Amino acid sequence: MFPERLRALRHGQSITLEQLAADLNKQYPGPDERANTSSQIGNWERGVRTPSYIEIRKLAEYFDVTMDYLSGKADHDEYDLGKLFLSGKQLSFNHKLLTSEDRYGLFQLIEGYLHGKKRRTVHDENDQQEELDLGLDDSKK
């Protein structure tokens, strides 16, 4: 499972083996660390070798996934937003750091949305809804 997930993550971001090795070496430098190589990562992807716990942790952090997902222990890489908002981890949105008040406010907004969603009626499938333009995709303009 690990080789397939690593390959899928790397291909999904169009990263070469050489780029991944260089990025890992840059992101995790250290005198006690052996440098990652493209052939080493290729061996992991082919299942020829198995990375150490430390290497799996580095890859999980690099791709922003859990180690359980990367190693195949979990089927989906999912986060509980409630726990994430209330955790001590630094969170950002659009490259802006969220304060504790921001996090709590967002938590309350999501709670309210989900609570209100239970009370909404289900509309007919033939109903057409207008798209909400969040201004995130400027290529359509």
- Is 26 contained in some domain? yes
Closest CA to 61 of 108, 23, 95, 11: 23
pLDDT of 139 higher than 70 = no
- Is 59 contained in some domain? yes
In tens, the pLDDT along 78-90 reads 667 777 777 777 8
Q: How far apart are CA 62 and CA 13, in angstroms?
A: 12
Answer yes or no: do 87 and 38 share one domain: no
Q: How far apart are CA 56 and CA 50, in angstroms?
A: 9
- Is 63 contained in some domain? yes
- Is 56 contained in some domain? yes
CB 15 within 8 A of CB 62: no
pLDDT of 41 higher than 80 = yes
Percent of the chain with pLDDT over 70: 79
pLDDT of 27 higher than 80 = yes
pLDDT of 71 higher than 50 = yes
Answer yes or no: do 17 and 47 share one domain: yes
Answer yes or no: do 67 and 86 share one domain: no
Answer yes or no: do 64 and 94 share one domain: no
- Is 39 contained in some domain? yes
- Is 90 contained in some domain? yes
Question: What is the value of pTM for the model shown?
Answer: 0.54
Answer yes or no: do 86 and 45 share one domain: no
Answer yes or no: do 86 and 67 share one domain: no
- Is 104 contained in some domain? yes
In order, the DSSP letters of the chain are: -HHHHHHHHHHHTT--HHHHHHHHHHHS--TTSPPP-HHHHHHHHHTSS---HHHHHHHHHHHT--HHHHHTSSSS----HHHHHHSSS--EETTEEPPHHHHHHHHHHHHHHHHHHHHSPPPPTT---PPP--S--GGG-
In this predicted structure, which of 21-30, 46-55, 79-88, 116-125 has the lowest mean pLDDT?
116-125
Structural domain total, the chain: 2
Q: How far apart are CA 69 and CA 108, in angstroms?
A: 28
> If you average pLDDT over residues 95-103, what whole number do you get?
87
